[in-house]
């Protein structure tokens, strides 16, 4: 993935990011669990995207 999508419009980059992240069932489960816990402040770090994308 790296910089392949860097020049695309923000909306397209966001769509691609969400497609990649949501396709990984482990990431999806973690994000749903975090949402369900309703934590006041939590972060997803870059490793999520890096590992989920396999650097496509």
What confidence tens digit (pLDDT) does each residue in 18-51 have? 888 888 898 889 888 888 988 777 776 666 666 6
Band the pLDDT of 12: cuts 50, 70, 90: very high
The pTM score is 0.59
- Mean pLDDT, the chain, integer: 80
CA–CA separation, 7 vs 48, rounded Å?
21
- The count of structural domains within the chain is 1
Give the pLDDT score at 21.
Answer: 83
* Domain carrying residue 35: 10-53
Q: Quick check: is 4 in a domain? A: no
């Amino acid at each position: 993935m790296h910089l392949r999508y860097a020049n695309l419009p923000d909306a397209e980059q966001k769509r691609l990011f969400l497609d990649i992240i949501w396709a990984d069932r482990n990431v999806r489960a973690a994000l749903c669990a975090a949402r369900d816990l309703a934590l006041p402040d939590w972060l997803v770090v870059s490793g999520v995207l890096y590992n989920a994308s396999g650097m496509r």
